[in-house]
Homo-oligomer: A and B are copies of this chain.
Amino acid sequence: MSKDKLTIGAILFPEYDLLDVNGPLRMFGALENVNILMISQHGDKIKSGSKIGNYTEYNFGNCPEFDILFVPGGMGTRKEVNNPVLLEFIKNQIPKVKYVLIVCTGAGLVAKTGLLDGKKATTNKLAWQWVTSQGPNVLWKKKARWVVDGKIYTSAGVSAGMDMALGFISDVYGRKVANDVALKTEYDWHTDPNWDPFGEKI
């Protein structure tokens, strides 16, 4: 296992998707050498699209540097693509971080910054049209549970974030570590990034 301590910066915004965030972060939270920063524009409590929510400890002004930028999706993305403060924050982080992990419609936010242009990516299948319209120059792949292009990971909708998180853990810390997290969470990990019955259905 890599001994590198990695810090994740998870970016939350109003009406983020509850499982996009807490599914993958539960997988990462099982690792001793991963630290998680919860960040939102104004800090404090933040409500997901399911009404209940998480609390964030940092705002865009006071958050420390991190190694992994984590961007979830959710219905709030439709409003946030018009929030220049959020887009600017994301845009500024991407060149600085070691990895970018994007779940579900979070790809719409990142695509809007232009920084996915020319990269392979996937996203939520029911929201396919809206997300892909945010980045016409992204190389969108419809049938995929998750996609890796260099340091950028994108996943399909909501639950796919957990498969991608375990895929990332496997890539960075080894398959044994990822299998162990899946076992401890009794999670039926779809280990094949090309497994995607939803991309076929929709």
Contact = CB atoms under 8 A, between A and B. Distances in A.
A201 B186 CA distance: 11
Interface residues of A, number: 42
A143 interface: no
A125 interface: yes
Interface stretch (A14-22, A83-91, A92-100): A14-22
A23 B22 CA distance: 8
How many subunits of this chain does the assembly comprise? 2
A157 interface: yes
A174 to B, nearest CB: 20
A183 interface: yes
A86 to B, nearest CB: 20
Nearest to A196: B186
Contacts of A45: 45, 55
